[in-house]
């Protein structure tokens, strides 16, 4: 997993922001029910974000990130991956996510993303006009791949996702072998990639990142690929105080990306 149970997104809270939140259950087209956490601003700006967690699925870090978006008038829903095998109930810190990740396929993940995107566009989800995906690690990879699935996304943001199709630990193998680099010609929305410069944990090498950037350029995809030298996997974390400047730059780029491609100030 990317983050420890006590990790938190390094995003400032906005005091006095009027928001609400709730646990929701969404249903994919294969009738799978899966958990989500919805954060809604009292004055939404028409932008929605589907938050795609790391391989552990939905937990507190991503719920808090959804709240930070809502404080900025953006509706956000963070989703879980394991409705098919683990149900929709709340889980403790000892949840055996790896066992369930091995039962999760790329096709399953995309069905759930499609349902979350449709939900944000519905009355119940805020009638969002511009919808983005934003993911971390496993979720970052699938955020980029979602732009190939016909969801008409305004853009896709990924933090330190695996862009290549090279062999990886079992949870990466189950996520589909062809990576965003190999499918660059199919990616139909703008891409923002925020990458760790020292990502030895997952073996995302500098050449992987360079190949992704080059493939997007050849495919004519509007994109920005940013690498932060010396940062480890999952550096976007309040516990990593030594990377506060890099994290602040990430958040600025996320907001700028959303503003640029939604037409609404984030």
Q: Which residues of 183-196 are buried (b: 16+ CB within 10 A; e: fewer)?
A: bbeebbbbbbbbbb
Measured CA to CA in angstroms, residue 165 lies from 33, 160, 247 at distances of 29, 15, 27
**Residue 128: both structure tokens together:** 């969002």
pLDDT per position as a tens digit, 54-81: 999 999 999 999 999 999 999 999 999 9
Burial of residue 245 (number of CB atoms within 10 Å: 0-12, 13-18, 19+): exposed
Burial of residue 264 (number of CB atoms within 10 Å: 0-12, 13-18, 19+): middle
Query: Nearest to residue 116, comparing CAs of 65, 147, 80, 87?
Result: 80
The pLDDT of residue 266: 46
Strand partners, 134: 51, 157
The pLDDT of residue 1: 52
Distance CA 43, CA 38 (A): 15
The pLDDT of residue 255: 97
Domain extent listing, the chain = 19-262
Q: What's phi and psi for 69, nearest 5 deg?
A: -65, -45
Q: What is the mean pLDDT of each run of 10 residues along the chain (266 residues)?
A: 78 91 97 97 96 94 97 97 91 86 91 98 97 97 97 98 72 63 97 95 90 98 98 95 98 98 74
pTM of the model: 0.94
- Sequence-distant (6+) residues with CB within 8 A of 172 are 138, 141, 162, 202
Give the CATH H-level superfamily of domain 19-262.
Alpha/Beta hydrolase fold, catalytic domain (3.40.50.1820)
Distance CA 19, CA 13 (A): 12
Query: Nearest to residue 156, comparing CAs of 120, 193, 185?
Result: 193
Query: Nearest to residue 138, comparing CAs of 77, 83, 80, 86?
Result: 80
């Amino acid at each position: 997993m990317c983050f420890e149970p006590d990790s938190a997104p390094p995003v400032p809270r906005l005091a006095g922001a009027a928001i609400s939140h709730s646990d929701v259950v969404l249903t994919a087209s294969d009738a799978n029910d899966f958990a989500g956490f919805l954060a809604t601003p009292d004055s939404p700006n028409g932008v929605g974000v589907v938050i795609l967690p790391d391989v552990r699925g939905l937990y507190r870090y991503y719920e808090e990130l959804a709240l930070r978006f809502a404080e900025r008038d953006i509706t956000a829903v963070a989703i879980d991956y394991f409705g098919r095998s683990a149900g929709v109930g709340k889980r403790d810190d000892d949840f055996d996510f790896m066992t369930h990740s091995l039962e999760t396929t790329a096709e399953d993940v995309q069905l759930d993303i499609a349902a979350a995107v449709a939900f944000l566009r519905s009355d119940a989800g805020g009638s969002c006009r511009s919808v983005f995906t934003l993911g971390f690690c496993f979720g970052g990879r699938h955020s980029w791949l979602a732009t190939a699935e016909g969801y008409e996304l305004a853009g896709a943001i990924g933090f330190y996702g695996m862009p290549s199709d090279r062999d990886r630990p079992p949870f990466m193998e189950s996520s589909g072998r062809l990576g965003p680099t190999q499918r660059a010609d199919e990616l139909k929305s703008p891409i923002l990639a925020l990458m760790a410069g020292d990502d030895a944990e997952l073996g995302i090498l500098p050449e992987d990142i360079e190949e992704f950037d080059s493939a997007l350029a050849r495919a004519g995809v509007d994109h920005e690929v940013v690498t932060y030298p010396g940062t480890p996997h999952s550096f976007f974390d309040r516990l990593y105080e030594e990377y506060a400047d890099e994290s602040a730059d990430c958040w600025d780029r996320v907001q700028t990306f959303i503003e640029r491609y939604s037409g609404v100030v984030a």
